[in-house]
Amino acid sequence: MLCDSHIHFIPEKLSAYTAFYKGVWADKQALYAYLDKHKIDKALLGYPSTDAHLKLEAFSRVCDIYNQALEEVSKENPKIITAGIVDLDSLSTIVVQVKELKQRGFGAISIASSFQGKFLVKELEPLFEAASVEHLPIFIHPQTINPIGFERVKDPLLMPVLEYSFDSSMFIGLLMMEGILEKYAVKFIVSSLGGVLPFLKDRFDRVYQMLRSRGIVKDLGNLPSEILKNVYVDTSGASLKNIQLALELFGEDKLLWGSDYPVCGDIQNSLKMLDELGQEVKEKITHKNFQAIFPYPLHP
């Protein structure tokens, strides 16, 4: 049994307004073929964040096009759990938007780690509360348009490798600092191991304790490494060694296998290497943890 927690599809009507997300990104049949080829039973389809809103001149139009297309995907392919997007330019209507996504059959909400160059945390509390009420997990993907540091470094390699990772990491760090991860019963799923967080487990705790002893940082009520265990992360693009680091931080019940389709690498190798973790842990990562979040019947 196999569940993929990280796949993408950009509908042609939206792809046409992007600079990068064309070709296979907009090929729905290629996505369906990928799921069949690799015998994937269930998959979570999330939004990678695009630049389409720049030409469409309104993020609400992006939401309309994307969500409508994903409704069709959900009807056509029962293997796919769709994560709808919300218009963060209209925070006053966010609760209504979340309720509508639930009513339309979406199984999750997809947001970027930042929005228009800003990290929204306190501003998104109505979203987190509504997601909790509606039992909709939140998939967090790195901001791909203007991630943290973009105003200083515009490099085609450093941006996706470093800036994407730092954007996700900073957002999760802010959720921790504001108490969001413990306040709301929301299942946050962060792509790509949660950025650089697994590498900073010990440093987080050590620096936090040092700053607390000097009264410089507020009392979080627990060590950062313990608070971060409230987060789920996917394994997309990660080596076995990095996955082992993530296991130390988040725990074996919080890791989800993800491919990052259509930019996935060697699928078979990414699954084979998990054998070294033992059968029980591998089963949790490849399907059991996913099924605990999304208790949907499997496609026959």
Domains and CATH numbers, the chain: 3-293 (3.20.20.140)
The answer to whether the CB of 25 falls within 8 A of the CB of 262 is: yes
CB atoms within 10 A of CB 162: 17
Exposed (0-12), middle (13-18) or buried (19+): which is 109, by Cβ within 10 Å? buried
The answer to whether the CB of 216 falls within 8 A of the CB of 164 is: no
Asked if residue 300 has pLDDT above 60, the reply is: no
Give the pLDDT confidence score for residue 297 in this predicted structure: 78
Residue 295: asked if its preceding bond is cis (omega within 30°), the reply is no
**Tens digit of pLDDT for each residue in 278-293?**
999 999 999 999 999 9
The answer to whether the CB of 259 falls within 8 A of the CB of 7 is: yes
Helix (H, G, I), strand (E, B) or coil at 9: coil
Q: How sure is the predictor about 9, in pLDDT bands with cuts at 50, 70 and 90?
A: very high
Q: How sure is the predictor about 299, in pLDDT bands with cuts at 50, 70 and 90?
A: low
**Tens digit of pLDDT for each residue in 217-270?**
999 999 999 999 999 999 999 999 999 999 999 999 999 999 999 998 899 999
Q: How sure is the predictor about 195, in pLDDT bands with cuts at 50, 70 and 90?
A: very high
Asked if residue 95 has pLDDT above 60, the reply is: yes
Q: At what angle do helices 59-76 and 28-37 cross, to 10 degrees?
A: 50
> What is the arrangement of strands in the sheet containing 108-112, beginning at the earlier edge strand?
3-7, 42-45, 80-84, 108-112, 138-141, 188-190, 231-234, 255-256
Section 181-194 average pLDDT: 98
Query: Rounded to a whole number, what is the distance in angstroms from the first to the last CA of the chain?
Result: 12
- Tokens standing for residue 300: 């026959």
**Tens digit of pLDDT for each residue in 150-180?**
999 999 999 999 999 999 999 999 999 999 9
* This prediction's pTM: 0.97
Go through 70-85 and write b for each residue having 16 or more CB atoms within 10 A of its CB, e for each that does not.
Answer: beebbeebebbbbbbb
Helix (H, G, I), strand (E, B) or coil at 147: coil
Nearest in space to 257 (alpha carbons), one of 280, 238, 277: 238
Q: How sure is the predictor about 83, in pLDDT bands with cuts at 50, 70 and 90?
A: very high
CB atoms within 10 A of CB 209: 12
CA torsion through residues 142, 143, 149, 155, sign:
positive
CA torsion through residues 36, 40, 45, 46, sign:
negative
Percent of the chain with pLDDT over 70: 99
Give residue for tokens 């269930």: 42
Q: How sure is the predictor about 296, in pLDDT bands with cuts at 50, 70 and 90?
A: confident
